[in-house]
Structure 1
């Protein structure tokens, strides 16, 4: 019997982002007696929601378990920049794994954003979804030469994008940086509305949402079981762990660590001070900042990451981090209003290679893991649903090893 962990939603985030809290979602209910299903998904955030939608579409009988309101953990802290570009540049990933493997990973991420976009259209999800360009800015030790090398590798990998020098960058976006790579086909969304829309689609196909806490997992027999704090048990052929950054010991490994990040949302801006097309803007430095706009004209700006997850320490730093983000926003866009509508912070997971942990839990064939990390959390959540759906139907692809829980640590 495995302990499920006890971290609460308030340990995952502080404050709230500018997302719609009143969007329709299926209500979770307490489980009064033991039940059975094909797949028990533990976690009703964005990853659990993608899994529930996809697995019910494949015909699985699904139960989704969460101890609190669906989507109001780390999903509510997301800035929902749905990029196919990965936290590690293609140059960095090539240095770790070689060109062919690194290029395939980037293409898989690109395909995930394309698939996510198609799913939003297919289900007609009302989640402020919009396709966006990304502007990847020179910063820190990454200057024009390094970005030109990155652009060349992307072109070789068959990925879209264009290297842009200072003058063209200023003319197109008003950004006073030495250079950038401008790439199409990323996206943005309201993460809460996206999560709730996916859960509604799953519920309409029969998924059951259970509002209770998973306290232990048992996979020693012919089936697996999730013990709930209310006393009932969910028996399943498989359990999928989609618990965000609350990982049981059986999944933890030396690839993963948890850090803290901060974000702000301004009051709505005048259209003339916002950059054209609402592109997603981020920096090519290790400690990068990033920003996007909302349909109301707010600027969402995040970063100032720190390598710890303690919620009290994160909360104590909030005033200083908020001011630091305001200063960095002003340096990037000198003419915007700095009055804030929201400020919040949250825990986020990261791995040594910038890639998620998705697949079978080693030594536990009935336990599957779905953890999407870093700036690509939602993109990787979509990818996790497709990968695990294929596994549960008996399929296997060579590229599953790129994201395996037990893959060797690089270097």
Structure 2
């Protein structure tokens, strides 16, 4: 499900969002709802309190309210420690794709059926986001495209191709969507120079912050919805009080009561649910936006001068991966650079500080070099990082998200730990959680990948 790392686990009480944060490219055009509070005070009670206003929390609220008239809808309060979409969703790579590298880990851990579940989820999410964006008329630069997994090591490229053939022989017909590119056409098709092999897979890109705020905007005016930003939840009672409510405590704004609680808290889950200490661990990553300072005057044909809108995962030796998205406006969003700091775990493992940068004096030239060394149209572009940021991902011990009923707690739900690949899972997983909350489905019927099921055994695995 993810690249293997050794994770440090900090004390659970320290796992809360940093009060200050770097500014990612995706948060440079802020929405009026960014720091919105529906009311001056917290509601006294709600049917459902959702903790977290990123893609997960907002998608769960959207699905809970979908096709329900206001008079029949539950009252929902959304509590966010900082601003809307200020966590991982607002700091990610801006793309989703059929992630071919996940298949190997999934097969080894959980078998063919689990791998099939995840592949189907990846493909379904591309179309689900396309459909909701069109339905709700959300302006978020959404574009269905192809994504390339490019391998910089010849041995790894050969092994990946052999693995893919093996998986297809095992009956994973869903992999028909993955194309192995002929070596002689690698650069012509991908636009990426010096790779040793590549897969082409279905993908899409979007402006994540604009998607989340646009989705929120479709239901924020409903009388039963209350959004409270800059409201840090510090604890939630583990059982109902005599009146049937959980007590949701905040750091500075008092207590609100809820009949049901949803933890859409990703990397910060253990701060409020200590049982997830050592199970969902914060991992800090870094990303950048790069612009060309000069426009190439190379009179080559239109193919080379066109705007590239593909997305990439770049596989280096030793299992390190960069992600890259060519934006339609000519800029690039890139992230990773972990080869520079992988051996310094204090920079990234168990870290919740997204208010400081990771080795900017090394990361900046590294990202710029990826563009000038591997894309011909960028060779003499004067590629310049104009924005550098950090973000906190939630990694899990077994590589799968934790979704469903909080183990041992009635009417509390968790949807967290997406291991840095949330956008290819969250929207439809959120639909499944909403169905569980409303009582229309149990986990097995919800459409959520089965390996995501939150269980007591996974807490200690």
User: Aligning the two structures, in what range does the TM-score lie when normalised by the shorter sequence?
Assistant: 0.7 to 0.9
List alignment gaps of at least 5 residues for structure 2. 1-11, 297-301, 343-347
From the superposition, tell whether residues 117 and 344 of structure 1 become closer, same or farther in structure 2 (CA, over 3 Å). same
Match runs of 1:80-229 below 5 Å: 80-85=94-99, 88-140=101-153, 142-150=156-164, 153=167, 156-159=172-175, 160-175=177-192, 176-184=194-202, 186-206=203-223, 207-211=225-229, 212-221=231-240, 222-229=244-251
**Is 1:405 matched up with 2:447?**
no
Give, in angstroms, the shift of residue 409 of structure 1.
8.1
Displacement after TM superposition at 1:288 (Å): 0.3
Deviation at 1:84, TM superposition (A): 3.3
How far is the alpha carbon of 1:346 from its aligned partner? 1.7
Whole-Å separation in 1 of the counterparts to 2:409 and 2:109 = 28
Provide the C-alpha distance between the structure 2 equivalents of 1:94 and 1:409, rounded to a whole number of angstroms: 21
Instruction: State whether residues 172 and 276 of structure 1, in contact with CA within 8 Å, keep that contact through their aligned partners in structure 2.
Output: no
Task: Please say if 1:38 is aligned against 2:47.
Answer: yes
Q: TM-score, normalised by structure 2?
A: 0.79
1:257 equivalent in alignment to 2:271: no
Q: Which has the higher strand share?
A: 1
**Partner of 1:66 in structure 2?**
80
Q: Secondary structure at the match of 1:278?
A: coil
Structure 1 residue 21 corresponds to structure 2 residue 21: no
Q: CA RMSD in A?
A: 2.9
Secondary structure, counterpart of 2:109 in structure 1: helix
Q: Mapping of 1:304-343 within 5 angstroms? A: 304-305=337-338, 306=342, 307-310=348-351, 311=353, 315=357, 317-336=359-378, 337=381, 338-343=383-388
1:116-149 alpha-carbon deviations (Å, 9 max, x no partner): 2211111111111111211011234521342242
Residues 153, 410 of structure 1: alpha-carbon distance in 2 compared, 3 angstrom cutoff? farther
Counterparts of 1:409 and 1:167, CA distance in 2:
47
Instruction: Tell me the equivalent position of 1:396.
Output: 442
**Unaligned ranges ≥5, structure 1:** none
SS at match of 2:174: coil
The structure-2 alpha-carbon separation of the partners of 1:275 and 1:344, relative to structure 1 and needing over 3 Å to count, comes to farther
Higher mean C-alpha displacement, 115-124 vs 175-184: 175-184
Structure 2 residue aligned with 1:56, among 57, 62, 65?
65
Q: CA deviation at 1:234?
A: 2.4
Corresponding residue of 1:355: 400
1:72/1:101 CA distance change after superposition, 3 Å: closer
Q: Which has the larger radius of gyration?
A: 2
Once the two structures are overlaid, the 10-residue window that deviates more, 353-362 or 304-313, is 304-313
Q: Secondary structure at the match of 2:144?
A: strand
Indicate if the aligned counterparts of 1:282 and 1:291 stay in contact, CA closer than 8 A: yes
Distance in 2, matches of 1:118 and 1:404, equals 26
Distance 1:9 1:190, change over 3 A: farther
Instruction: Give aligned pairs, total.
Output: 406
CA contact (8 A) 1:71 1:192 kept: yes
CA drift at 1:380:
2.2
